[in-house]
Amino acid sequence: MDIVFSESELEKVEEIKSRYPELQAALMPVLWMAQKKFGWLSKEVMMYVAGLLDLSYAHVYGVATFYTMYFKKPMGKNHIQVCTNVSCMLGEGEMIFRHISEKLGINNNETTPDGLFSLEEVECMGACGGAPMIAINEDYYENVSIMMIDDKFDLLKQS
């Protein structure tokens, strides 16, 4: 895929720029856009964003690597995020993590060879009342059980 935004996306970038008095502030939202379109932030993508916002590549790289949610490597189609922080730990979040890890045959921060799943052990996602919880891409699943996870993953594999 060519690393360029479409006409309408460039309009969106202009709209984002207009929200802030300084150009640099548009960096985080534009990185989000870029990640959504290109899947992850490769060097080429970061250079492209730097060019759009008149920033140095070094600055863009610095910001992209500071925040954990910007992907610095290709991710699987389904990004599985399992919380194991205090509340989820009290709700057996670690068991859920181990189960998924064994089920997919991958460890933390790895992707299955077929590119379907990436697994990540994450810090608190702000859903402590629904512990244990996992997130698949942008969606939260609270009060999960092993059975629920098995069903959901079977569905994801088929789709």
Partner 1 sequence: METPKVLLSGIPDYHKIDVYLQHGGYKEIRKALAMQPADVTGEVKKSGLRGRGGACFPTGLKWTFMPKGTDKPKYLVVNGDESEPGSFKDRQIFEFNPHQLIEGILITNYAMGIEAAYIYIRGEYHRWVDLLQKALDDAYEKGFVGEAMKKTFGKDFTTNIYIHKGAGAYICGEETSLMNSVEGRRGYPRFKPPFPAQNGLWGMPTTVNNVETIATVPQIMKMGGEAYSGIGAERHPGTLLFGVSGHVNKPGVYELPTGVLLTDIIYDICGGVKGDKKIKAVIPGGSSMPPLRGDEIEGVRMDEESLKPLGTHIGTGGIIVMDEDTDIIKITKRIAHFYHHESCGQCTPCREGTGWMEKILQRILDGNGSMADLDLLVSVCNNIEGNTICALGDAAAWPVRGFITKFRDEFEARVSKKREFTAPNIVHGRRQAAGSLVFER
Q: Which residue has the tokens 């996870």?
A: 149
User: Do residues 134 and 82 make contact, with C-beta atoms less than 8 angstroms apart?
Assistant: yes
Minimum distance, C-beta of residue 113 to partner 1, in the bound complex (Å):
26
Helix (H) or strand (E) holding 101: helix 93-104
Is residue 127 close enough to count as binding partner 1 by CB under 8 A?
Answer: yes
Q: Tokens 């150009």 identify what position?
A: 23
Report how far residue 142's alpha carbon sits from residue 58's, in angstroms, rounded to the nearest whole number. 39
29 touching partner 1, by CB under 8 A: yes
Q: Tell me the window of 2-10, 96-104, 128-136, 145-153 that interacts with partner 1 (CB under 8 A).
A: 128-136
> Whole-number minimum distance, CB 133 to partner 1, in Å?
10
Among 5, 13, 27, 144, binds partner 1 (CB under 8 A): 27
Nearest approach in angstroms of CB 120 to partner 1 is: 10
Strands (E), the chain: 78-83, 110-111, 117-122, 134-136, 139-141
Residues that bind partner 1 (CB under 8 A): 19-22, 24-29, 31-32, 55, 59, 62-63, 66-70, 84-87, 89-91, 122-131, 135, 138-140
